[in-house]
Structure 1
Amino acid sequence: MSNPNIIITSLGIRGKIGELTPNMVLKYAEAYGTLIGKGKNVLLARDTRLSSRMFRNEIINGLLSVGINIYNLGVVPVPCLLFNMRRNNIHGGIMITGSHIPEDWNGIKFVDGKTKTFITSDFLNKIKKIYESKNFKYVDYKNIGSIQKIEGLTGYIHSILDNIDISLIKKKKYKVVLDPVAGCGLTVTPQLFIKMRCKTQIINDSLNSEYPYFPRKIEPKPENLNELSKAVEKSKADIGFAHDIDADRVAIALNKSGKILNEDIVLALIVKDYLENHENCTLVVNVASSRIFQDLAKKFDANYEEVKVGEVYVSTRLNQILNNYSNINVIGGEGSCGGVILPQLNNTRDGPLACAKILEIMAKNDLSISKLVKQLPTKYYMIKERIRYSQDKYKKIINTLKEEYFNYEINEIDGLKFYNKHSWFLIRKSGTEPIIRIYVESEKKNRTKKLSDEIMELINNITKEKSTKEE
């Protein structure tokens, strides 16, 4: 029987500490190194979780034992690891991070050295096959790998600054509040703000001495960002930013009110600016993203594509477009988590880059963040729900919804997405937790609520489980 506290995702493994054991991490590192091959080079990075230090040691031992040379970046954001992958002779990468999930969990993300993006499920299956068969290719004394500490932050920071109009931002002297949840963003985002001459207030920048070690819940959702909202309102800041631990995500607090923006709006602001300033564009988002992205693509005559939920699917599709069409400009992201991907710079969700881009857009348009939001096309209302499930009941849920909403068109890219002219809803199994996620959206708040209530009543009658709203 599978362990619900150990989850194999499309790009690695996650688990609850104590059940995701050091030995398990060691063996996965050996399997990954065996697959890459003796004598190859791997970048290693981690987040600030206490368990990440423990797992770092096991990964180092595992990789060295199969002849892998390690270049250790230390504590850096996920996008910094991917940036350095693309600019060095590196054959693989590992990020030790639980990302936005609770601190008593952690995970290992593997990078494909050929594509310089996180691995696909096919790549992971090869790792799993070696792990399960224990077919590790240990080396003799003469071929043990080497380890070297390297600095990778400077080049990454410069790459962001080189791709924004820093002079415009400097003139504005913005007042900014940052909540990095004592995570990897602390190594980068404050430095960006200094370079842009922003007056910066940093909150939640240090770990507690006892559990819970992190100063707030890790995921940058509205209910976890009350301190940021209050700090922005009290200090009369121009904007507030929040990261998760590995800084691939960003949330925004509006000036004056401190209200936390919906994740889709963060990405939409950057997408709108990009499409306004580039021709012959393709926009790629996941199926759980707001319909606002279709509207933006239509307004600026851009191609629009949807892929499965998960950064790797967006990044892979962006790579395919870049490799096959030299004259197309591309931008992508996951509106469902506020993750922006500009593959020409870094083909991964990039929180620090998103912060810099938002400030540039404010300065370029000479508008506050609140006024920029008002310039976006039609406002949509989304409700997100989550509920635990069993496989047999999931099939019954799907069949019931198909019968009930037979007049909707259906997209089966990832789970089931039902849609018509006025609204859509998506039901899919999470890739990181043993839950079903449900997304409902329309142009009218009352229509969204009514549709959500109908769907959840049907699902609750089948599962007999209580659902939880996601803000």
Structure 2
Amino acid sequence: MSLIKSISGIRGTIGGKVNDNLTPLDVVKFASAFGTWLQNNKNKKDLTLVIGRDARISGGMVSSLVTATLQGLGINVVDLGLSTTPTVEIMVPELKADGGIILTASHNPKQWNALKLLNEKGEFISGENGAEMLAIAESEDFNFAEVDDLGKYETRDDAFDIHIQQILDLPMVDVEAIKAKKFKVVLDAVNSTGGIAIPMLLDKLGCETVKLYCEPNGQFPHNPEPLKEHLGDICELVKKENADFGVVVDPDVDRLALIDEKGEMFGEEYTLVAIADYLLKNKNGVAISNLSSSRALRDIAQNHHSEYFASAVGEVNVVTLMKEKNAVIGGEGNGGIIYPDLHYGRDSLVGVALFLTYLAKENKTVSELRAGYPSYFMGKKKIELTPEINVDDILTKMEKEYQNEEVSTIDGVKIDFENNWVHLRKSNTEPIIRIYTEAKSQEEADQLADEIIAKINSLI
């Protein structure tokens, strides 16, 4: 079991020992630290935080602990109840709140939960701010409110309606074009809150929804990470129902995977590619993903005479570069769509609406759409490290070894060859070097990874 304290939030398994797991005492400590950090950095007396949770089993307990702790600090709480990560992100600025906490462990199994921390813009707090918050947690320098100054508590049940209406109002979402097609969509929401929000959106867009695992009870019927090996049921159901395509979301609805009408994976990397293709056809601009995402996005941007840039891995880093470059679209290759005209956060709902618009306008099947994109294949391997190995030294040697290629060192070492690439990153949580490769075939991607591993071993 684990407790992982990072700049963006606190993640751990429920139960066990304090400081080793996400116990009630740990929840209270880190909620206190975030609330105290906000109080230290805001020039106002009355602070308000928005909270929401996915449907995992521990969510109600964790939410009660967070709510009571914030009230104990004198902070007002607006509780959205069962929600999604992008919905909470939307509601923080909508309600002019001072920040937010999303209670979700994203794609982790049901044993896990987490506190994800948002600033007043509804965006994940920066690395610097996260470090300040963790220092407060370490010191436990909290000052709780006296009885007359306890925070107020209220609930809202209109957050999904507000989120969906903002999507429908986007100029690039063509509601009438989608309605005219009467799409039939199968949805796997892994028994979490996507089972509430996505059908609401699809109904507004005139689509028929076939629900699979849409009961928000937190009993995940399969591993909740939306990868091919976990999605056999929806692939079969799409074919059985003669549906136009399938939609898969993770428990907090910030990752979007698609299944074509033949029951085949569209490819998580290609969710962002397809949506960028649609947007950049209509507006020249910049597309952003991270260094470990597919080269296909760069290819699509170049096809549309647009620019492409890659950030360090992590949503905060993608968003920072998107703002710097004033990007039209961005995200991560794991199916995370960030559409800045709505908000700077990964959002499966806006991803679904933009994809449906593109599908309606192109008048193609999903498989035909996918066939129009360059095919790349990814390999993911790792090297186990021993204590005497200096990872930074290895990465420096690899950078020098391939200095005649296109090399980026903003996040580990990424080497871009003419027809493939490799990205080497030191893990923050395990004693390993992660090795990501991409090439025109799976065999080539795996072979490149093996060659790089051999090269690293020769340098150790």
TM over 0.5: yes
Q: Secondary structure at the match of 2:328?
A: strand
> What is the identity percentage for the equivalent residue pairs of Structure 1 and Structure 2?
35
Task: Give 5+ residue unaligned stretches, structure 2.
Answer: 16-20, 40-44
Displacement after TM superposition at 1:309 (Å): 1.1
TM-score norm. by structure 2 comes to: 0.91
- The number of residues matched between the two structures is 446
Indicate whether 1:186 and 2:208 are aligned: no
Cα 1:123–1:213 change in 2 (3 A) is same
- Shift, 1:451, TM fit: 0.7
Deviations 1:203-232 (A, max 9, x none): 112367xxx931111100000101011111
What's 1:469 paired with? Answer: none
- C-alpha distance after superposition, 1:145-175 (max 9, x if no partner): 1110012111101111222111111111111
- Contact 1:45-1:73 within 8 A present in 2 as well: yes
Amino acid at match of 1:262: G
The answer to whether residue 424 in structure 2 is matched with residue 424 in structure 1 is no
The one-letter amino acid paired with 2:81 is: G
Give the structure 1 partner of residue 273 of structure 2. Answer: 268
Residue 448 of structure 1 is matched in structure 2 by 445
Matched with 2:117 is: 110
Match of 1:153 in 2: 160
Q: Does 1:224 align with 2:221?
A: no
Distance verdict in 2 for CA 1:386–1:173, change over 3 Å: farther
Q: Spell out, residue by residue over 1:116-160, the C-alpha distance to the aligned partner (whole angstroms, 9 max, x if none).
A: 310111111111111111111212112111110012111101111
* Mapped pair 1:96 → 2:103: yes
Kept in 1, the 8 Å contact 2:266–2:367? The answer is no
**Are 2:360 and 1:351 aligned?**
no
Looking at structure 2, the residues matched to 410 and 286 of structure 1 have their Cα atoms a distance apart, in angstroms, of 14
Q: How far apart, in 2, do the equivalents of 1:447 and 1:188 lie? A: 40
Opposite residue 348 of structure 1, the aligned amino acid is G
Q: Of the candidates 325, 329, 332, which is equivalent to residue 331 of structure 1?
A: 329
CA contact (8 A) 2:384 2:433 kept: yes
- Report if aligned partners of 1:282, 1:330 keep a CA contact under 8 Å in 2: yes
> Which secondary structure state, in structure 2, belongs to the residue aligned with residue 139 of structure 1?
coil
Q: Structure 1, unaligned stretches of length 5 or more?
A: 323-328, 464-471
The CA deviation string for residues 20-68 of structure 1, in whole angstroms up to 9 with x for no partner, is 1111110111111111125211000111111222211111121111111
- SS of the residue corresponding to residue 117 of structure 1 reads coil
Instruction: Give 2:301's aligned amino acid.
Output: A
Q: C-alpha root-mean-square deviation of aligned residues, in Å?
A: 2.3
Q: Does 2:57 correspond to 1:50? A: yes
**AA of the residue aligned to 1:79:** P
1:392 to partner: Cα distance? 4.6
| Change beyond 3 A, Cα 1:159–1:235 | same
How do 1:355-394 residues align onto structure 2 when only pairs under 5 Å count?
A: 355-376=352-373, 378-386=374-382, 389=385, 392-393=388-389
Q: 2:93 aligns with which of 55, 61, 86?
A: 86
- Answer whether contact 1:14 1:432 (CA < 8 A) is retained: no
Describe the superposition over 1:407-459 as per-residue Cα deviations: whole angstroms up to 9, x where unpaired: 54321111211122121111223456665432101234442232123234566
Q: TM-score, normalised by structure 1?
A: 0.89
On the 8 A contact 1:177/1:201 being kept in 2, the answer is yes
Paired with 2:455 and 2:65, the residues of 1 have a C-alpha distance of 46
Q: How far did residue 406 of structure 1 move?
A: 5.6
Structure 1 residue 11: deviation in Å? 0.8
**1:391–1:228 distance in 2 versus 1, CA, 3 Å:** farther
Distance 1:15 1:461, change over 3 A: farther
Give SS of 1:118's match. coil
The alpha carbon displacement at 1:319 in A equals 3.3
Which residue pairs with 1:67 in the alignment?
A: 74
Aligned in 2, Cα 1:447/1:367: closer, same or farther, shift over 3 Å?
same
CA 74–432 in structure 1, closer or farther in 2 if over 3 Å, else same: farther
| Matched residue, 2:18 | none
The 3 A distance-change label for structure 1 pair 147 and 386 is: farther
